[in-house]
Amino acid sequence: MDHDQRKEFLQLAHETIAASGAEETEVLVTAQDGFLTRFANNEIHQNVGSRDATVSIRVTTGKRIGVAQVESLEPEALRSALADAQEIASARAPLEDFKRLPGPRAVRPVAAFDRDTAACTADRRADIVAELVAEAKRRNASAAGVVENKCAEILVANSRGVRAYHRGTSAKFQAVVTCGDGSGFAEDQSYAIGEVNIKGVIRDSVGKAVRSRKPRPIEAGEIDVVLEPSAVGPLLQFLAYLGFGAKSFQEGRSFMSGKIGEAITGAKVFIEDNARHPRQRGMPFDFEGVPRKRVRLIHAGKAAAVVYDSYLAGREKGRRQSTGHALPARYAAFGALPMNLVMAGGEDSLKGLIEGTKRGLLVTRFHYVNAVERMKTVLTGMTRDGTFLVENGAVKHPVRNLRFTESVLGAFERIEGLTRSRSLVDEDILCPALKIRGFRFTGTTEF
C-alpha cells in the first residue's frame, strides 16, 4: 500500500452508518496487501501477491443483532450488506445480556508500520532464499519454507462515535531444511523486515539438519527437556484458547474459573497480553474499536485475570469493563481472546539451560498439537525438526521423534529455568526457551 486509506475508509463508514435504519451500526473495514515467496527442494516454486479488502457491518435494534460481511468496497455491495445485516437482525432472537455498542475512547497509536517492509519486492525475498539455498547446498542439504511480507489496515467506526484506525506491517522468514534423514527448523519475524534475523535462521535451520542425521531411538517416559521458543509457542497458544478468554471463564470451562488469585503454575511464570510491547507492536484497539489494555493473565504462577469484550463485560453486571479483546463480530461466538501473548524471560541462556541438564532432551519444536483434556490443559503432539539427547550438560546426538501427552499447567509448575532472550513465534507470541523437569513423553517413532 503506497499510502494509507484512512480517509477513504472513514468516508465509506460515514456513508454506511448514515444509510442505516438500525438503532446502532458498526462498520469494520480491513485491507491487506500480502506477498509470499515459497520454496522447496532448493528452488522457488511460488511467488504470489494479493490485495484483499473486507467490510463487516453489525447492526443492532434493541437486543437483536445482525452481521453481514462483503469482500468489496463498492457502494452497491455495501448497501446490499447493510440490508442483509438489518434483515438478519430482524429475524434473530434477542441477545438478553447485550447492552449496546461501545462508545468512543481515546486510542494511543502503536508505531507498527515500516515502509521498507511494505515496499519489499519479490527480488528481495528471492535474495533471502538464495542465501539460505547456497548454505544448504554447501552442506548437501535441501531447503524449504517461506519468506513473507504484509501491510494491513483496519478501521472501526460506529454510530456512537467510535473512530479507530491502525496500519501495520509484518515480515516472516521460516525454513525447514532436510539433510539425509535429518531435518532442522528455524524462524524469525518482526514488524520490520530489516529486523528479521536472516543469518540466524539460515545458521540454525541448516545446522540442525546436519546435526540431526542418523537419529537414535530413545524410550518414552518422563524426561527433562529444554524447549526452544518454537516449542513453547504452541503451548501458550493453547492456553489462550482453552482458558484466557472471559467466555469460557464465565461458563466454568476455563482452567482459570474459580482460581483467580490461586497458584496454577510455578512461581517463575509470568504471562500477559500486551499489544504495546516493542517486540509485538500489535493493534492498539480491538475489532470494536475499544483500546487494548495490558492484561496480566498469570502473575508469579497465580491466575490473575482473563480478557473481555464489551458483551462479556456486560454480562457481569457492571463489575467488569472490556479489556479491548473483541474478535470480529462474525467470530463473536468464540468470545474475547488475547492477541499478543508475552511470557517473561529469566536469567539463563540456552547454553546455560543445556549445561545445567544432567540428562534430557533439547526440543526444537512441536507439531500436530491438539487438546486432550481442556480443564487440565492436557495436550498431545510430536517433536519435529531437531530433537537431541543432552547428557552431562552437552548435546550428545539426535534422537527419533517422540509423542508427548502433558498438561501445560503441570509442566509449567516444573519449570527450572527460562532464557533471558525471547523470540516472536506464531506471529503473536513472544516467549523464552524453557527448561522443564519430567516432561511426559508417551510414544516413540521410527523417524
User: At 24, which CATH number?
Assistant: 3.30.2290.10
Residue 67 confidence (pLDDT): 97
Q: Could you give the C-alpha distances from 40 to 110, 255, 284, 357, 447, in angstroms and in order?
A: 36, 41, 37, 36, 21
Amino acid at 89: A
What's the CA gap between 252 and 256, in Å, rounded?
A: 8
Q: Which of 155, 175, 199 is the last residue of a domain?
A: 199
Q: Where are the alpha helices (DSSP H) in 244-288?
A: 246-250
* Domain co-membership, 333 together with 228: yes
226 Cβ contact partners less than 8 Å away, ≥ 6 residues apart: 350, 353, 354, 357, 360, 361, 362, 363, 390, 433, 434, 435
Residue 319 confidence (pLDDT): 87
* Domain co-membership, 26 together with 70: yes
* Domain co-membership, 222 together with 157: no
Tell me, yes or no, whether 207 lies in a domain: no
* Domain co-membership, 308 together with 233: yes
Tell me, yes or no, whether 147 lies in a domain: yes
Residue 2 confidence (pLDDT): 62
Q: At 40, give phi and psi (nearest 5°).
A: -160, 155
- Look at the alpha carbons of 423, 428, 431, 434 in this order and tell me if their dihedral is positive or negative: negative
Task: Tell me how far the alpha carbon of residue 440 is from its chain's centroid.
Answer: 25
Residue 5 confidence (pLDDT): 94
* Domain co-membership, 292 together with 370: yes
Own/partner long-range contacts of 90-96 (Cβ < 8 Å, ≥24 apart):
90/61, 90/64, 90/66, 91/66, 92/64, 92/65, 92/66, 93/64, 94/62, 94/63, 94/64, 95/63, 95/64, 95/65, 95/311, 96/63
Domain count, the chain: 2
Residue 426 confidence (pLDDT): 84
What's the CA gap between 99 and 186, in Å, rounded?
A: 47
* Domain co-membership, 162 together with 90: yes
Tell me, yes or no, whether 245 lies in a domain: yes
The predicted model scores a pTM of 0.96
Residue 384 confidence (pLDDT): 97
* Domain co-membership, 33 together with 88: yes
Q: At 379, give phi and psi (nearest 5°).
A: -120, 160
121 Cβ contact partners less than 8 Å away, ≥ 6 residues apart: none
Residue 291 confidence (pLDDT): 98
* Domain co-membership, 161 together with 248: no
Residue 139 confidence (pLDDT): 98
Count other Cβ atoms within 10 Å, centred on residue 128: 22
Q: Which of 164, 199, 234 is the last residue of a domain?
A: 199
Cβ distance 332 to 286 under 8 Å? no
Cβ distance 170 to 427 under 8 Å? yes
Tell me, yes or no, whether 257 lies in a domain: yes
**Nearest alpha carbon to residue 308 among 250, 239, 374:** 250
The stretches in the chain having pLDDT less than 70 are 1-2
What's the CA gap between 388 and 211, in Å, rounded?
A: 9
Tell me, yes or no, whether 208 lies in a domain: no
* Domain co-membership, 194 together with 230: no
Q: Which three cell numbers stand for residue 223?
A: 524426561
Residue 1 confidence (pLDDT): 62
Q: Which residues pair with 48 in a beta bridge?
A: 36
What's the CA gap between 411 and 404, in Å, rounded?
A: 11
| Domain ranges, residue 269 | 215-447
Query: What residue ranges in 191-231 does DSSP mark as E strands?
Result: 221-227
* Domain co-membership, 390 together with 305: yes
3-state secondary structure of 106: coil
Any idea of the CA torsion for 437, 350, 135, 214, to the nearest 10 degrees?
A: -30
